[in-house]
Each structure stands twice: as C-alpha cells, then as structure tokens.
Amino acid sequence: MTDRSLRLLIFDWDGTLLDSVATIVSCVQATLSELGEMPAEEESIRASIGLGLRETVDMFRPGCDDELFDQVVAVYRRLWSERFAGRPALFAGVGQVLQRLREDGFLLAIATAKSRGGLRADLSRTGLASMFSSTRTMDEAPSKPDPSMVFEILQELNVTAQESLMIGDTTHDLAMAANAGVTAVAVCSGCESRQVLERRHPAGCLDSVIDLPRWLEGELPDRPRPGTRRASRPSG
C-alpha cells in the first residue's frame, strides 16, 4: 500500500461480520431438497457463498434456464424468510470492533452478495445500520469478483483505492479487491480455510475480524507479505 493514510474499510458481510455460513448451507440444502434436486456437498455450497444468485445456481445446475432459476430463487428466499433469517448472529465482539474503528476515524462500508432486502433486515436486526457510510449488494452490482461494488463505494465516499482496505472471508472477496486495485485482508471465520485464502496472497490472514484493529496497529505476527506496505492510520 502507499504512504497515504488508510481511510476506508470495506467489509464483506456473511462469514466476515455475521456468523451465517452454516445457516446459508442449511437453507441451500433445504431448497434443493424441496425442489427434488440432487443434494450438494457442504464444501461446494460453502465455496459458492459470496457469489451472486445466478452464479450460485449455475454451480449446482449448469445450464439452468430462466424458469428454473426463478423457481430456485423463490424457494430459497421463502425458506430463508420462514425458517432461517433469524438464526445468524454477529460474531462475538463485532459491534465493539466496528465502534472502535469508527472512533479511530475510519469510514466503514459493506460489499456483499446478499440482496438489498436481506442486508437491510440484517442491519436492522443487529443494530449496525448507522455504522456504515456506504453499502452495496448484488442487487446493485455484478457478482464478485467483479470490482463494480468497490468502485461504486469509492466513488460515493470520494476515497481512492490506495486509501482503502477490503476485509473478507472468501477468495471471491480477495479477487474483487485485487480487481479494484484495493489491498485485502482475509479472515478465517467463514467459508474458506487459511490455506485456501493464503493462495490469494492477502496482506494479512486473521483468525477473525476481531483481530483487525490489532493488525492495523502492527501488533500481530501476521505481517504484510514482502512487497506490500501497510498504510498509516487516519491522522487527527
């Protein structure tokens, strides 16, 4: 990263701030069962989390036509609303960490594959809506790893890529950040293992987002890799 101050932290949602991966897996399995589709391995479902709905459905039913796609989405959303939406909770300490980062002067944003309605409900339920200066969902931009969500957030907040950091739990998040020219930190709390995440060469690979403030302060042994430079904290 450059010597310019780091101003913006862009977070993924599911698996990064919200402990929702197991619930998403259960909902996908229930959807496939109701539709009479072949069950999918948990590992395959976890690998799809973070993509858009179209890309996810295509992973399990290649060549899916629009009619079946609409049916899958309708069943998934109904089951999520009826049985799963209230289950996920924030990872322990997330609220306090976000508040600390805000007090330290950072702008906070979300870039998620969740729908706008789903994110709005989660933010309301968790009480975090006021924490974020900008949010983007799959309803407003192409699926990760397309960088459009990040670009739109940067434009809205008048922040450069060099002043920004992406934090996510999937290789899709890390690839989106790379495509946007933004440095990324991986967290191992969600979909993918440390081994898989480190293949994308993030600037850091943390056990959870709770470790982010200490990483930003340079207090953790998981230092940036050779060739990367950590930005300074916001001034003032």
Point out the residues that are catalytic.
Answer: 12, 14
Q: Given CA atoms 130, 134, 139, 144 in this order, what sign does their dihedral have?
A: negative
Q: How many CA atoms lie within 13 A of 208 on its CB side?
A: 14
Query: What single-letter DSSP state applies at residue 130?
Result: G
181's torsion region: left (phi>0), alpha (psi -120 to 50) or beta?
left
CB 17 within 8 A of CB 209: yes
CB 71 within 8 A of CB 31: no
- Token pair for 38: 């072949």
